[in-house]
């Protein structure tokens, strides 16, 4: 049986704020936006042509609200792979995405950390062509 991760949940403050940020800043598309009574939505976004999506889950409880923006504490939570780092870095910077470090070249590729509208950290990363698998990246 083949398996893959289809979606991950990301806690957000507000659905519409999240849609605006992901579509306007990162160029993602809304894959699903369905009302779930009484006041929830099944909302997923992803980069165009992606095979995995992010389910935007509005924080409902006090404990969940405390986790918004801190789901990985101070570590990178999500890794956005690109086939053209320079193109996406320039576009995101122009759209006001806040990078917390300058781009750097690593053994595995070019990377820079940015924060989303809630404060979660992401890697924007273009992997080197020779890095066919993660195990080859680190050897």
pLDDT at 38 over 90: no
The correct answer on CATH 3.40.50.720 for the domain covering 1-68 is no
In the chain, the N- to C-terminal Cα span, in Å, equals: 29
Evaluate if residue 40 carries a pLDDT over 90.
Answer: no
The whole-number average pLDDT for the span 27-54 is 94
Query: Using CA atoms, how far apart are residues 56 and 62, in angstroms rounded to an integer?
Result: 17
Model confidence at 32, pLDDT cuts 50, 70, 90, reads: very high
The reported pLDDT for the residue numbered 129 is 73
Q: Domain ranges in the chain?
A: 1-68, 72-139
Does the CA dihedral 42-10-136-50 come out positive or negative? Answer: positive
CATH topology match: 1-68 vs 72-139 = yes
Q: Which of 34-43, 84-93, 106-115, 122-131 has the lowest mean pLDDT?
A: 122-131
The DSSP element (H or E) to which 57 belongs, if any, is: strand 53-58
Say which CATH topology domain 72-139 has. Answer: 2,3-Dihydroxybiphenyl 1,2-Dioxygenase; domain 1 (3.10.180)
Average pLDDT, the chain: 92
pLDDT digits over 90-123, tens only? Answer: 999 999 999 999 999 999 999 999 999 999 999 9
């Amino acid at each position: 049986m083949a398996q893959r991760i289809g979606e991950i949940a990301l806690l957000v403050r507000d659905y519409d704020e999240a849609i605006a940020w992901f579509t306007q800043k990162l160029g993602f598309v809304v894959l699903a936006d369905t009302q779930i009574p009484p006041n929830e939505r099944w909302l997923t976004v992803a980069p165009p042509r992606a095979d995995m999506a992010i389910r935007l889950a509005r924080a409902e409880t006090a404990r969940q609200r405390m986790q918004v923006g801190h789901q990985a504490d101070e570590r990178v939570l999500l890794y956005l792979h690109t086939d053209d780092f320079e193109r996406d870095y320039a576009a995101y910077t122009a759209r006001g995405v806040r990078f917390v470090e300058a781009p750097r070249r690593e053994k595995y590729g070019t990377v820079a950390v940015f924060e989303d509208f809630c404060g979660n950290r992401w890697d924007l990363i273009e992997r080197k062509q020779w890095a066919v698998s993660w195990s080859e990246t680190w050897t």
